[in-house]
Structure 1
Amino acid sequence: MAPRPRRRMLALPAVYPCEAIEPAPLLASLISLAADIAGLRAADVDALPALRGAAREAVRIVGLVLVLLDGIVRDAPAPDQAAVLGLSELHVALQKLRLLLADCARKGARLWVLMNAELSASELRVLLGSVATAMDALPGDVVRASADAEELAGLVSRQAWRAASRLRPDPEDDRAARAVRSVLARFASGVSPDAEDARLVLACVGVDTWLDCSEEAAFLEAELLERLETGSDSDNDNDLVLIGGLMAFLLYCRVVLFDRIDDSGKAATANRLPPRWAAGVNLNLEALQCPITLELMTDPVTVATGQTYDRASIKKWIKSGCRTCPVTGERLRSAELVPNVAARAVIEQLLLSRGVPLHEPSSKHRCAVDKTATPFGAAAAGGVRLSAAFLMARLSSGAPEDQKKATYEARKLSKRNVFYRACLVEADAVPWLLHLLSSTDASVQDNSVAGLLNLSKHPAGRRALVEAGGLGLVVDAVNVAAKVEARQNAAAILFYLSSNLEYCEEISRMPEAVPTLVRLAREGAYRGRKNALVSLYGLLQCADAHGRAVSAGAVDALAGLLGSSAGDDDLALDAVALLARLAEQPAGARAVMESSELVTRLVDLFGEAASRSAKEHCVALLALLGRHCGDKVLTLLGKLPGLMPALYAVIADGTPQAGKKARWLVNEIHRHYEQRQTPASAPAPTTGDRVIHV
């Protein structure tokens, strides 16, 4: 099921009751709605980042509405159809009021609510007016059922009108918003703001910890990407400038005002979880890893045996033809996947405690990320540059704890914003991150590698890394980094560097580079193998890398991936693509042909493959083997019964390029066997060619 689009903050859609609805169910729904709003605790309202006084008044008025509705149900005759209009207007107003209060109390959106206090006040003013209008529209026979009901309806109407006319943002909200604008103005001028102004704002909205700051920034990032997806208009552009400035403000606060990423924030997050899960966050993180990929699940689902897996990995498992539970080995009675809501809640809180949104950006979000190459306003640009300069000071001369925090901040800052990456490169982050690869602290090393990976996605970052002499350090990190994740990320850096032919040639000339990647492809976990394969594919643009790969045993390593992976598995597909690139050189083709079992497995894979790309990689590899190894491979291919149907299928349904290779291979196999069947002493045919051409 595709996720529903997220409702925009402070947009208040409501469902208008249908005209034919009976008054009784409408009244029951109204009572439920009013009870939800009136049941808000005073402490919850007082904790709002803005409009606390107005919200208290709105909740009090809805409490009076609830008393009125209860009285109508108890004392009045059943409302007739004439009452539907007034009750429907009240229903819509209460729906929107509930959404507005929920938005104002939304976790992570406190700064955004503060800066939109005027808009929220305007919405609340309209809604209170709608409540008053609905009271006036109630039919007389409904409110005159008792003197109390008539008097109460009039009281609600008067007080709602009065509250709407007097409604203004709280004075302290205005002071905090002015402080934010002052900070943004200083950012735009390239001047560091007064720390007390920043602390005033954070105190006003209740942002007390580094974790709170990260949650606010994560919310604003999601809002930014949503607006980039929906296109441009004047209001949207203004929002982008404000969001960009607020993200820079939160980034500056997180980097400058909080000395360390303390565990108190994580403990507070754990305490907000349901009691039965709170201990699990600290005691059993392995339970949140998918048993197939051994990575943290992002969309946990439960299968018929009761085991929980990440949706993507278990779907791939089932699609490959496996109908057993990977953990228990029991046969799955059905392929139904049930979302594990409780596990998802724990994982979401765990990621938020690290300042990471639950979902990686969708394909649309990835396109939106590309639009962040320029800053949204001078304030955003100035704030990020000031934060990057502060981080570089900590990286270059800070105490070990400062460096630890700074590497983590650099990792986060460079993750999904192209302009942020550019600012870090301009601030000379790359040489210092390379320097910290030799740290004895595994987390500092891990964060440095991840930061370099993010910066290597930027052309200037790749250039800075090579100019700083970092290629050898990255290769060493693939070999000896303390954490598995760091080794995997270091391999991915080589992939991004190989996109530049000059860098690719320099890496391929390093004696340890290609053997290191081959070793990771053979021995690594899934993600490490994946990164090693794509990096090797990039390096094999260079002729020097072919011989090194063959000497390092790349063919055997790739054969192992074919033997252990399903036909449509992406590792098997990558392995075939890499074998095809190796076979472009005669030495690589001969290395592949040394194992007849490997060629047989390739043909089996060709017949089994579900995807078009897998088939096309297979036919490209077999055609290269035919060109470089001649009769030896043609004799073997002709004996394999499943090959010809697969080749004809590619000729019929494949791309023109793949079809051309398949036709060539069919004709060569036919010609080879025709020549073998013709006696050596027989005269050459005088009319035409007896080979069947396709």
Structure 2
Amino acid sequence: MLALPAVCPCEAISPATLLASLLALAADVASRDAGSFPVLRRGAGEALRITRVLLAFLEELREASAAAPLPGAAVLGLSELHVAMQKLRLLLADCARRGARLWVLMNADLVASELRFVLGSVATAMDVLPADVAGASAEARELARLVSDQAWRAAVGPDAGDGRAAWSVRSMLAKFRTSAAPHAEDARLVLGRVGITTWWDCAEEVAFLEAELLERLEDGRENDNDLVLISGLMAFLVYCRIVLFDRVDAKKKADAAAPEPTPAASCAAWTPSQEALLCPITLELMTDPVTVATGQTYDRTSIKRWVKSGCRTCPVTGERLRSAHFVPNVAVRGIIEQLLVRNGASLHEQPSSKHRSAVDKTAAAFGPAAAGGVRVAVACLIARLSRGTPEEQKKAAYEVRKLAKRNVFHRACLVEADAVPWLLHLLSSADASVQDNAVASLLNLSKHAAGRRALVEAGGLSLVVDAVNVAAKVEAQQNAAAILFYLSSNADYCKEIGRIPEAIPTLVHLMREGTYRGRKNALVSLYGVLQGAASIGKAVSAGAVAVLANLLSSDREDIVNDSVALLARIAEQPAGATAVLACSELVTSVVDSLGASSSRSGKDHCVSLLASLCRHGGDKVVALMGKMPALMPALYALMADGSPVAGKRARWLINEIHRVYEHRQPPPPVAPPAGDRVIRV
């Protein structure tokens, strides 16, 4: 937002090509509707009017160049004009961007300053054009003078209404600092000023600010002054979303009926193959494609690493990068997202470690306004959860789910306000969506240590186990299983879960019958619960070993690795090892997994399982493993390349196999001493 990166035209570009590109760029800017700018309306209108005059000048220039080619001296002025128009297009796009209206309002002075600078660049570029660039056309010369004069004199300061609205927002943030709730009508007037009229509009604003916050934290900008304002605005919008809107509405009907063409739809035709979506540096699918000054597109992480290593050239073209600014390539990103959606995946299925670290940094509010605003909003939510009508409870459960999703401080505030007992009460709701939102909210709160403690103290363990078994929606069952995973981080909670008769059989059933995500959650949850001998016995009685043996044939490597890890935990006890050995062909499958797994942790779990089986099964099991031709090469490879613990276990297994086979071999015949006579009978 408001960064205004631009790509300079090549110095060797022909005037005709540059003019054609400039015409397309000016036409795109001039086609914007002046009514689409909720902030800085007068300045944006001035910029559009000047652009339309400029477009008329460029069209005159194109007609004149058909008779007499443009002189080479025109390249400098047209290039400067091209860069200025790129910046103007980006600036106007930011001003009209859905979801960023409140942010632009609070930065109205900065936006006006940038707009004034860009229009000044347009005027300067017009002034440096050669006098004869328009040929003999008097109309073209008059249009050029008009563009220059109007660009220099354009009044682009913030509108008076924008200033009053921004002042009103700051006064409401000041009330939040004292944990006081602002007047609802004042908040409604501010939102109306920038066109935020529905719950959906408000949610878009919160999502944009959250993305801005996490991006700054991912880049290590914890001391960025904007973080305080962003957090305060998020709290203000959350408060407005809860107080001003009675229901969670869908996206606007006009948007749903006639959606804007996505970049992916408009650009899919020129994408030759999926190879074009691979980063030229890593040769992997790009997740955050950006374009550098040379026009090449890379994944943001890889090109950042390239530049930080001291390389200031484009990896593909070898040209020197004149700027370290990276422009997000929304067209390529849209194509990648559509490609992944068609294949059932998402760009954000596995958040990066940097993203998780950024979320962890939200454990404290950035400023007293954000802290007070969140607490006021949470107090309103708890009141509706506890005393509201069924419809109010339904909306409040959804708001809690969104509020606790990616902000640690929000989770802490909800736990402190006793949200957990009321959410547990909603698990018995007859409304499937209410139940689903309550389970998802509890999942988010269980990621917080205080949330786990509150859930157990409120007697929620058995209710969560019941939700795994009988929740109306499959997603709710999966989320309930994930809650047990977070609870299993505490040994005392594991014992409590193990004492519930239905807990372990329910997880085993989910492993057998669930979807991919359900099985995944059940596997990791049961792994945490099985920390005692009694729980392992219950898992064996529930048929866990047979289910895990079937999962070893899954085409998902993570499912196979988790299954082996759980078998290794079961085999730590003699009864568990006996059950594993009783399952025919299971040891062979584990040996195959040891050789085929590309995961270091997967190999570690495999060798741990085999060592436990040998330890509890005795020499008979060791001899059986010694007959498997694929085992010894895998063990030797693990000794060389595996982790220290895995290497130690692999060495122990090799020694045991050698010991058993040497013990079984008959002793070699002893040769008689030299010089003794031998009598053959």
**Structures share a fold, TM > 0.5?**
yes
1:302–1:339 Cα contact (<8 Å) kept: no
Cα-Cα RMSD: 2.7
1:210–1:258 Cα contact (<8 Å) kept: yes
> CA offset at residue 248 of structure 1?
0.7
Q: How many residues align?
A: 602
1:38 to 30, 39, 43: 30
In structure 1, what is the equivalent of residue 591 of structure 2?
603
1:72–1:145 Cα contact (<8 Å) kept: no
1:273–1:346 Cα contact (<8 Å) kept: no
Provide the C-alpha distance between the structure 2 equivalents of 1:48 and 1:81, rounded to a whole number of angstroms. Answer: 38
Q: Tell me which amino acid in the other structure corresponds to 2:159.
A: D
> CA offset at residue 404 of structure 1?
0.7
In structure 2, what is the equivalent of residue 240 of structure 1?
227
Q: Tell me, yes or no, if structure 1 residue 103 matches structure 2 residue 94.
A: yes
Could you list the per-position Cα deviations for residues 289-318 of structure 1 after superposition, in whole angstroms to 9, with x for gaps in the alignment? xxxxxxxxxxxx999xxxxxxx99xxxxxx
Could you list the per-position Cα deviations for residues 133-178 of structure 1 after superposition, in whole angstroms to 9, with x for gaps in the alignment? 1222111222562322222222222111111xx3211111112111
Q: Give 1:468-617 correspondences, 5 Å limit.
A: 468-562=458-552, 564-566=553-555, 569-617=557-605
> CA offset at residue 413 of structure 1?
0.5
Q: Tell me which amino acid in the other structure corresponds to 1:543.
A: A
> CA offset at residue 358 of structure 1?
7.2
In structure 2, what is the equivalent of residue 410 of structure 1?
400
Q: Give 1:371-520 correspondences, 5 Å limit.
A: 371-520=361-510
**Of 488-497 and 503-512, the range deviating more from structure 2:** 503-512
In structure 2, what is the equivalent of residue 88 of structure 1?
79
Provide the C-alpha distance between the structure 1 equivalents of 2:574 and 2:390, rounded to a whole number of angstroms. Answer: 52
1:49–1:113 Cα contact (<8 Å) kept: no
1:218–1:357 Cα contact (<8 Å) kept: no
Q: Give 1:160-179 correspondences, 5 Å limit.
A: 160-163=151-154, 166-179=155-168
Q: Tell me which amino acid in the other structure corresponds to 1:651.
A: M
Could you list the per-position Cα deviations for residues 262-283 of structure 1 after superposition, in whole angstroms to 9, with x for gaps in the alignment? 34x364442242699xxxxxxx
Distance 1:142 1:632, change over 3 A: same
Q: Tell me, yes or no, if structure 1 residue 364 matches structure 2 residue 361.
A: no
Provide the C-alpha distance between the structure 2 equivalents of 1:418 and 1:151, rounded to a whole number of angstroms. Answer: 60
Q: Which runs of 5+ in 2 are unaligned?
A: 263-272, 276-284, 287-330, 671-681
Provide the C-alpha distance between the structure 1 equivalents of 2:347 and 2:623, rounded to a whole number of angstroms. Answer: 56
Q: Give 1:48-197 correspondences, 5 Å limit.
A: 48-75=37-64, 77-143=68-134, 145-163=136-154, 166-197=155-186
Could you list the per-position Cα deviations for residues 86-141 of structure 1 after superposition, in whole angstroms to 9, with x for gaps in the alignment? 22221111111111111111121111111111111001111111111122211122
Q: Tell me which amino acid in the other structure corresponds to 2:401.
A: R
Distance 1:641 1:357, change over 3 A: closer
1:639 to 619, 627, 635: 627
In structure 1, what is the equivalent of residue 20 of structure 2?
28
> CA offset at residue 35 of structure 1?
1.5
2:46–2:156 Cα contact (<8 Å) kept: no
> CA offset at residue 233 of structure 1?
7.4
Q: Tell me, yes or no, if structure 1 residue 675 matches structure 2 residue 663.
A: yes
Distance 1:461 1:118, change over 3 A: same
Provide the C-alpha distance between the structure 2 equivalents of 1:141 and 1:387, rounded to a whole number of angstroms. Answer: 64
Q: Give 1:616-627 correspondences, 5 Å limit.
A: 616-627=604-615
Provide the C-alpha distance between the structure 1 equivalents of 2:225 and 2:192, rounded to a whole number of angstroms. Answer: 26
Q: Tell me, yes or no, if structure 1 residue 256 matches structure 2 residue 256.
A: no
Q: Tell me which amino acid in the other structure corresponds to 1:134.
A: A
Q: Give 1:259-298 correspondences, 5 Å limit.
A: 259-263=246-250, 265=251, 267-273=253-259
> CA offset at residue 21 of structure 1?
2.5
2:40–2:108 Cα contact (<8 Å) kept: yes
SS at match of 1:227: helix
Identity of aligned residues (%): 68
Q: Tell me, yes or no, if structure 1 residue 224 matches structure 2 residue 213.
A: yes
Distance 1:170 1:361, change over 3 A: farther
Distance 1:233 1:595, change over 3 A: closer
Provide the C-alpha distance between the structure 2 equivalents of 1:489 and 1:183, rounded to a whole number of angstroms. Answer: 37
Provide the C-alpha distance between the structure 2 equivalents of 1:88 and 1:608, rounded to a whole number of angstroms. Answer: 57
Provide the C-alpha distance between the structure 1 equivalents of 2:130 and 2:403, rounded to a whole number of angstroms. Answer: 59
Provide the C-alpha distance between the structure 2 equivalents of 1:183 and 1:436, rounded to a whole number of angstroms. Answer: 33
Could you list the per-position Cα deviations for residues 433-459 of structure 1 after superposition, in whole angstroms to 9, with x for gaps in the alignment? 011111111111111111000000001
Distance 1:154 1:180, change over 3 A: same
Provide the C-alpha distance between the structure 1 equivalents of 2:623 and 2:249, rounded to a whole number of angstroms. Answer: 67
Provide the C-alpha distance between the structure 2 equivalents of 1:155 and 1:638, rounded to a whole number of angstroms. Answer: 90
SS at match of 2:501: coil
TM-score normalized by structure 2? 0.84
Q: Which runs of 5+ in 1 are unaligned?
A: 1-8, 277-300, 304-310, 313-337, 684-694
> CA offset at residue 341 of structure 1?
5.7
SS at match of 2:225: helix
Q: Tell me which amino acid in the other structure corresponds to 1:432.
A: W
